[in-house]
Amino acid sequence: MTTTRRTKSPMVSASPRSDDDDDGAVMDASPEFRDWGNLPELPLSEVLRGLLPCLRSVYAFAAACRPWRRLLRDSAADLVRPRLPPLLLLCPAYRVVPVSPRVVAAPVSYSLPGDGTVLSASRGHLVLLRRNPFHSLHLVDALTGAVRHVLPLPSPHFAYHYAALAPSRLLLFHSKHAFFSLPVGDTDPNPRPDWAKHSLPRTASFVRSTLEFRGRLLGLTDRAQLLEFHLDANHPNKSAQMLPATGLPDATTFDRWHFGPHLVAAGDRLLLVLFMLVPRFGSLFQAQTRVKKVAVYALDMAKMRWEEVENIGAYSLFVDCAGRSTAGCVDVGNCGLEENRIYIAAPGCDGWYSCSPGWEVPLGGQGTGPLSIQAMKWLPWPSQIWIYPRLLF
């Protein structure tokens, strides 16, 4: 009997191998092609840039492995955040609505306590205040709705009006004279409720928002006063400093509570949005009810002077009235939006209302007439419309 000898092809195996054998062979031959976590940052950044503005793709990138998630965190401020148009968080339904379907295809909802008041949306969390029967703060993951921390209040008797997450601290404001801070970090899953009390400058008004800018933690009051926080200062009276910025109109000429001043970073520029009001006439009790102009000011850091601008370049600003979490975005053309525009989410407007910086016609929604403070008075304060957190990081 003649035996035919079969020759193995150099590219095709004569007999099947197990998956373990195949993986081992590939790993032995070229381990660098499987070490996804240690790919160079430059090509990974280009991949991440190509996934924008789709938020779900960004989440998938972050879920690949821990090094990729660290890269996303590190590049969030410079690469991702300015190029990701925000979402709106509608309370108390806790429904997230995208400004464009290219960011998220459909609204997202999750279940949260209905008796909680949202104090802020920042650094990937919602900060909820719950009074009876808990007297506590709940830090909720902005992506999943999971409660990360439940912290007792420093005192159940204060009227807390704003809270914010700094890089390593939770700030809780209860008056225009003082605030509390608590160390909270990713490495401390169970922070001890050791609240520290800090003083605010005596000339400051109520702090309405905070912002990280160029490695500094800044605050803005309802009178558009600019503060800088030094939370590691040795003396608690030195924790907040008033910055001597000039150039703004008098606080009586712009709205302080319903629309409010808004501090926002647009690249390397620090901007301030003011809703200028029609002058008051007649009775002293007659309310200033109409916005006549949306003014934008840029801070000259060398002179510490605010200067009004009518062009913010390739950036667009997204403002939520009284929600106090304004966002500045670039490359918004990918979502069908325009640059050098201010997009306003407010009651009385059909979705987003847009205008140019320095616009001097009374605000009006689509077919609803002028947008006035009077039309907002039935709504709870703070506003229940929020720019959903600053990229979730």
What tens digit of pLDDT does each residue of 318-372 get? 998 777 888 999 988 888 889 999 998 876 555 678 889 998 765 544 433 345 5
Q: Crossing angle for the helix pair 66-75 and 55-62, nearest 10 degrees?
A: 130
According to the model, what pLDDT value does residue 186 have? 54
According to the model, what pLDDT value does residue 91 have? 78
According to the model, what pLDDT value does residue 6 have? 42
Which residues are CB-neighbours of 380 under 8 A, at least 6 positions away?
A: none
Where does 314-380 have alpha helices with state H? none
Distance CA 110, CA 147 (A): 12
Task: Kindly report the three-state secondary structure assignment for every residue of 202-231.
Answer: CCCCCEEEEEEECCEEEEEECCCCEEEECC
Query: Contact, 145 vs 182, CB < 8 A?
Result: no
Q: Residue 116 phi/psi, 5° resolution? A: -95, 145
Helices and strands in the chain, H and E counts: 4, 26
Q: How does DSSP classify residue 260?
A: -
Rg (CA), the chain: 25
Which residues are CB-neighbours of 169 under 8 A, at least 6 positions away?
A: 181, 182, 183, 184, 231
Per DSSP, the three-state class of 153 is: coil
Tokens of residue 76, six digits: 């969030």
Which residues are CB-neighbours of 214 under 8 A, at least 6 positions away?
A: 268
Distance CA 131, CA 52 (A): 39
Q: Which residue has the tokens 């608590």?
A: 182
According to the model, what pLDDT value does residue 89 have? 83
β-strand partners of 226? 220
According to the model, what pLDDT value does residue 362 have? 54
Q: 150 — alpha (psi -120 to 50), left (phi > 0) or beta?
A: beta
Sheet with 262-266, edge to edge strand ranges = 262-266, 269-277, 291-300, 305-309
Distance CA 283, CA 302 (A): 43
Structural domains of the chain, with CATH: 39-84 (no CATH), 115-243 (2.130.10.10)
Whole-model pTM over 0.85: no
Instruction: Classify residue 158 as exposed, middle or buried by CB count within 10 Å of its CB (0-12, 13-18, 19+).
Output: middle
Distance CA 198, CA 154 (A): 12
According to the model, what pLDDT value does residue 209 have? 93
Q: Residue 87 phi/psi, 5° resolution? A: -115, 160
Where does 12-65 have alpha helices with state H? 19-29, 41-51, 55-62
Please report, in tens digits, the pLDDT of each residue of the chain (393 residues total): 444 444 333 333 333 344 444 444 444 545 555 677 788 888 898 999 899 888 888 888 988 888 898 888 888 777 888 888 888 888 777 888 888 888 888 787 877 777 788 888 888 888 999 887 778 999 988 877 888 889 999 998 899 999 999 888 999 999 999 999 998 865 555 666 789 999 999 999 999 999 999 889 999 999 999 999 998 877 777 899 999 999 999 999 998 888 889 999 998 999 999 999 887 665 544 454 678 889 999 999 999 999 999 999 999 999 987 778 889 999 888 888 899 999 988 765 556 788 899 987 655 444 333 455 555 444 444 566 777 766 666
β-strand partners of 369? 365
